[in-house]
Structure 1
Amino acid sequence: MTDLAASTDRVRFGASALEIAPLALGGNVFGWTADRDASFAVLDAFTAGGGNFIDTADGYSHWVPGHTGGESEAIIGEWIAARGNREDVVVATKVSTKPDRAGLSPENIRAAVDESLARLGVERIDLYYAHFDDESVPLADTAGAFSELVDAGKIAEIGISNYSPERIDDWFSVVDALGLHRPVALQPHYNLLERGFEGPLRERAERHGLAVFPYFGLAKGFLAGKYRSAEDAAVEGASPRAAAAVGYLERGGDRVLAALDEIAAAQRVPVAAVSLAWLRRQPTIAAPIASARTIEQLPALLASLRVDLTAGELAALDAASRTA
């Protein structure tokens, strides 16, 4: 695999001191579609290829029969301990979806962060997200609990995920009024086929200085060119997300794939690399998030770090995706 470490520029996001390569490795597959050994191999290859930012959540992967959540964090923690590389990686995790740690009450946040720290085997989480809004809890309580974690040295920075524009404004109104630590990151659903972010949410990111880390950057694999027909989703070994991914064909996804194919051929890179490079070039984006369940999937993701799309290529992708 090409070593991009020397050529990959680090970016510092928001007001934080955290420096990352502009690609985040999604940890949702660890302990789910990638077992411990496969996860270790992916993590090794990602860092060898220049990546250093890993994104997970305490709820991953509670949806798997027999799982309770925390499986992904535990694998990442075992890998960090085995490699002794804590200072070389930036780790983000989230709270609110683990079934026995659901919601964003201060008591739950305090208990959940300690459990995440233990599973990850770290003294401090670099970026800690409120995974989903919990309107049953006053925002002053939630924001206050997150701010306390910064003061306690348990987290370095605060992030918000899956919040509405109005609730983002409310969070900042609270922290400004109370003198609390401000969030520095936003994690929304955003890719070439899901462009709802490009409106009030992006305006809030700009207004509040939030670095944006979009999830489902490859639209569940569709924007990697993996699923071009219903038959592709039915082959043995296909991802559990394949059936949902091929649904994009009914939404004009074939036109987006055609544009991606042309640019990928011209750039001599995989389709996934072009999809992620487009995302990285959008306003407010610090790094797209993409996951890999095998090391064979990783080179295409890492290749995005060296793709420099032309103005014409960006315009072609924009046009194709707006008609999708």
Structure 2
Amino acid sequence: MTTAIDTGRPSASARSGLRQVGASDLEVFPLAISGNVFGWTADVVSTNAILDEYAAGGGNFVDTADSYAAGRSEIMVGNWMRDRRNRPEMVVATKVGKSADNPGLSARALTASVHASLERLRTGYIDLLYLHVDDESVPFEETLYAVDELIRAGKVRYFGVSDHTGNRLIEARIASGQMGIAPMVALQNQYNLLHRGEYEGDLARVADRQGLGVMPRFALASGFLTGKYRSRSDIAKNERGAEAAKYLSRKGLKVLATLDRIAQSHGVAVATVALAWLLSKPNVVAPVASASRAAQVGDLVAAATLPLTRAQIAELDKVSA
């Protein structure tokens, strides 16, 4: 059972444009800002500027992990919320399972990880906790019981999983039902115009049957779907270009050309269209995207209000198939 926490957060009726995460009462902006660059390529000044810009655009959903920059990302998010005094307004998602200090999802490791994250985030509760890995060395029941205890204690509100197969989602739902504990409400897996197969098969069907809120990660294909990588020289000029190199293909360039045309017709950025395509898909609540500069944030949040036509969605479906 979920322990009620009075967060002081306004209801959906008071804030337009928010989406509900699965069967939870979490109400989030349709674009989660990723903290994966905080403490890595984004320093404190840049991180604060990015988060300020995101919040100014209506954003309230921050996605981080205890393993991002060895915990520095959580520290920077926590410090920002403390300095802005806006914790009640924010929905904070973090992930555990990959940290060097508490690897894996044993009850001991998971509990220690959550307590460490709470301290770094300077908060008494985590809104959405993701199991960052599928740790098959630990019985699912042990992990789920540990999560449920954290929920009962008020330290976690809801939980979801990242990078689990459809079969494992089914196992988790059955186990939760048998044990009478809190079920998961969210799924985070890689999903974008150039990486569709992993999600659109069994995972999409299971997510739909279980009513999970889907938060696609790598929503912009490591930056390729922003349009900034169109040649080998573009990749060589950027320190993160190697991650996008695998998409620089005939198919990738055809997808970019289609995005270019649609973006031009709406007067928006290529990245905005790529994210809006994800938001048109069933059960997708909020793609997770990162910005290395505050100036990039506007193009991300604009996806929440971009009305793609059925024809444009179909065109993107076809070129990316």
TM-score normalized with structure 2 length = 0.94
C-alpha distance in 2 between matches for 1:14 and 1:251: 37
What is aligned with 2:220?
A: 218
Letter in 1 for 2:232: A
Letter in 1 for 2:25: A
C-alpha distance in 2 between matches for 1:268 and 1:246: 27
Answer whether contact 1:228 1:246 (CA < 8 A) is retained.
Answer: no
Letter in 2 for 1:252: K
C-alpha distance in 2 between matches for 1:77 and 1:170: 34
Letter in 2 for 1:43: L
The C-alpha deviation readout for 1:137-182, integer Å capped at 9, x for no partner, is 0000001111111101000001111001111111111100010100
What is aligned with 1:267?
A: 266
What is aligned with 1:92?
A: 93
Q: Secondary structure at the match of 1:93?
A: strand
Letter in 1 for 2:154: G
Deviation, 1:244, is 2.4
Is 1:36 equivalent to 2:33 in the alignment?
Answer: no
Q: Secondary structure at the match of 1:140?
A: helix
Answer whether contact 1:8 1:50 (CA < 8 A) is retained.
Answer: no
Q: Higher mean Cα deviation, 299-308 or 109-118?
A: 299-308
Letter in 1 for 2:233: E
What is aligned with 2:317?
A: 318
Letter in 1 for 2:23: A
The C-alpha deviation readout for 1:173-231, integer Å capped at 9, x for no partner, is 11000101000000000000000210100011011111000100000000010100110
* Structure 2 unaligned spans of 5+: 1-13
What is aligned with 1:158?
A: 159
Letter in 1 for 2:68: Y
Q: Higher mean Cα deviation, 85-94 or 294-303?
A: 294-303
Counterparts in 2 of 1:307 and 1:8: CA distance versus 1, 3 Å: farther
What is aligned with 2:307?
A: 308
* Structure 1 unaligned spans of 5+: 1-5, 62-68
Letter in 1 for 2:234: D
What is aligned with 2:233?
A: 231
C-alpha distance in 1 between matches for 2:101 and 2:27: 33
What is aligned with 1:55?
A: 63
Deviation, 1:246, is 2.8
Is 1:209 equivalent to 2:211 in the alignment?
Answer: yes
The Cα RMSD (Å) is 1.1
The C-alpha deviation readout for 1:238-297, integer Å capped at 9, x for no partner, is 242x12213212261011001000000001100000000000111110110100010121
What is aligned with 2:136?
A: 135
Q: Secondary structure at the match of 1:99?
A: coil
Aligned length: 307
- Matching of residues 22-33 of structure 1 within 5 Å: 22-33=30-41
What is aligned with 2:181?
A: 180
C-alpha distance in 1 between matches for 2:246 and 2:166: 27
C-alpha distance in 1 between matches for 2:319 and 2:245: 17
Counterparts in 2 of 1:33 and 1:8: CA distance versus 1, 3 Å: farther
C-alpha distance in 1 between matches for 2:308 and 2:245: 26
C-alpha distance in 2 between matches for 1:183 and 1:285: 15
Letter in 2 for 1:35: D
C-alpha distance in 2 between matches for 1:16 and 1:111: 25
Q: Secondary structure at the match of 2:292?
A: coil
What is aligned with 2:5?
A: none
Is 1:256 equivalent to 2:255 in the alignment?
Answer: yes
Letter in 2 for 1:229: S
Letter in 1 for 2:115: D
Letter in 1 for 2:161: I
Is 1:107 equivalent to 2:115 in the alignment?
Answer: no
C-alpha distance in 1 between matches for 2:150 and 2:88: 20
C-alpha distance in 1 between matches for 2:247 and 2:137: 34
